[in-house]
Amino acid sequence: MQQVNAITIAVKDLTGLKNFYIKVFGWAVQAENEEVVMFKLNGIMLTLCAAELFRNYTGADSGMPENKTAYYTVNFSSVAEVEDNFTRLEDAGARVIKKPAHTFWGGYSGFIADPENNMWEICYNPIPGTRA
């Protein structure tokens, strides 16, 4: 069964936005480093991502509109499932933004876009505690 597992937002001021979600919403940080802050919310990971890392990771700097500042993640159980689903989506007409590849954080993912340029990450995330 497919479900949205994560939403990632590109941010200009990571510390400021992190503090906003902690103070205003009362959310607890699940994990963080100098470029990413993650909150776990009712089975969905909300990730705040430094804007430059967001553009580099997603491939959004190659052909996506400047105002694209979020993407949605569907996690699968293996690299093979990512490959199978990515191929199926591409064959069905999804526009490829970035072909699946091993990530800097240990996962495997690629990006497609719908007709209105909403970006979807098709992903395998092997890191315990971060999968929604």
- List pLDDT tens digits, range 76-102: 999 999 999 999 999 988 889 999 999
> Could you report the per-residue pLDDT of 30-49, keeping only the tens digit for each?
999 999 999 998 889 999 99
Please write the tens of the pLDDT for every residue from 123-132.
999 876 655 5
Q: Has domain 6-124 been given CATH number 3.10.180.10?
A: yes
Q: Which two tokens stand for residue 8?
A: 């990632």
CB 51 within 8 A of CB 61: no
Q: Is pLDDT at 73 greater than 60 in this prediction?
A: yes
pLDDT at 85: 92
Q: What is the mean pLDDT of residues 98-108?
A: 95
Quickly state the pLDDT bin for 67 (edges 50, 70, 90).
low
Which is higher by pLDDT, 64 or 5?
5
SS (H, E, C) 42-84: CCEEEEEEEHHHHHHHHCCCCCCCCCCCEEEEEEECCHHHHHH
Q: Given the DSSP bridges, would you call strands 70-76 and 44-50 parallel, antiparallel or unpaired?
A: unpaired
* pLDDT over 70 percentage in the chain: 89
CA distance 94 to 126: 25
Q: Taking the alpha carbons of 77, 10, 45, 114 in that order, is the dihedral positive or negative?
A: negative
